[in-house]
Amino acid sequence: MKITDVKSLAIADVKVIKFGRFNDDRGYFTEVFRNSDFQHHPGMSVMNGIKFLQINEAYSKAETVRGLHFQWNPYMGKLVRAIKGKIIDVGLDIRKGSPNFGKIVGYELSADQSSGDNEWIWIPPGFAHGVVVIEESLVEYLCSGEYSPGCEASISPLAKDIDWSLCDNKLKKTYDSIVSTTKLMTEKDKNGHTLASWKASKDSDNFIYGKR
């Protein structure tokens, strides 16, 4: 795998991993994941010991909103990339006691086939994850835990108490314009927790800053 760059977003636990493609007149070839590179790359220490146990794929029409989802028993981190299309991927810190509790970061992922590289974003356990789809998209998730029904919850993308101060303003405007008008969001997601109601829930004690 040709990892060309690793960068942190405004919350350092969230990483963007850029990897190269080998292009020729036929198209391109790339390794999208190699475990040893993830474990030993100097910029990837945050992922030491992470094993991926489940792979999810989601096809979404433009203006689809998914999330903000998380689970425990087991915890699930997500490594996300766009195979087709363009999305905004967001991670919301839900770890009680974290200096960034309630703050959200986002990043635009796209799948330009003519580009010389592509990107993953790593949303670790302790973060609620969401996707807002700018154009028709196919998205792949490598998950560090298997799905656990009954041990999952969500924060509503419409929650007014999310702190957007660390997020790019242009990205937030695009996010808001889709979230506020779309018909492609489930009632379950729309009616998820606010930050206040999540913090008051007993389940929130499963996410304590500094505790693994």
Active site residues: 69, 141
Spatial CA neighbour of 210 closest among 6, 13, 5, 1: 13
Q: To the nearest 10°, the Cα dihedral for 110, 37, 148, 188?
A: -20
**Tokens at residue 188, please?**
């379950």
Inter-residue contact 120 to 80 (CB < 8 Å):
yes
Side-chain half-sphere CA neighbours of 24 within 13 A: 3
Q: Can the peptide bond before residue 42 be classed as cis, meaning omega within 30 degrees of 0?
A: no
